[in-house]
Amino acid sequence: MSSKAQNIIAWLTAFLTALGIFLGILCGRGIYNLYGFIDPCLFPGVILVLIGGLLVVTHMGAFDIFNFGFRSIFSHMNPDPNHVEKYSDYNQFVQDKRRQRQYSSSYSLPFFIIGGCFLIAGIIIDIIFNLSLA
């Protein structure tokens, strides 16, 4: 799959996730005035920013130890007697992953941008709502 297609999929995933959370909270609460739009904007914003942060940390290799551990466990359970492991140790696995990451991106930017837009919208609606009460 091309990089452009993966980028479009990342943007669509971020937008549809935010929209689904927004509509779920909005319809679930059933409050359709200005006050009712604060939480449906803030929650998807926070969730998407956290997902974006998790994608960045994952891309930097924070969870490589778990990935290697599960690969090692499942390769030892392989019944094929001619099975050869791709990586002999963790260091070789990490070096190969670093080489692969040099040529790929983490696709976390859409989650930060769309999540940030929802957060900003929620904060602005909250400010407007609080000013209208005064």
Q: What is the pLDDT of residues 94-114, one digit of tens each?
A: 998 899 888 877 789 999 999
19 Cβ neighbours under 8 A, 6+ residues apart: 44
Q: How many CB atoms lie within 10 A of CB 51?
A: 19
Secondary element (H or E) of residue 129? helix 109-133
Residue 37 structural domain: 3-133
Report helix, strand or coil for 21.
helix
Maximum average pLDDT range among 26-30, 70-74, 82-86: 26-30
What mean pLDDT is predicted for residues 34-46?
94
pLDDT of 18 strictly over 90: yes
Which amino acid belongs to residue 129? Answer: F
Task: Please tell me the distance from the alpha carbon of residue 46 to that of residue 18, in angstroms, as a whole number.
Answer: 10
- Structurally, how many domains does the chain consist of? 1
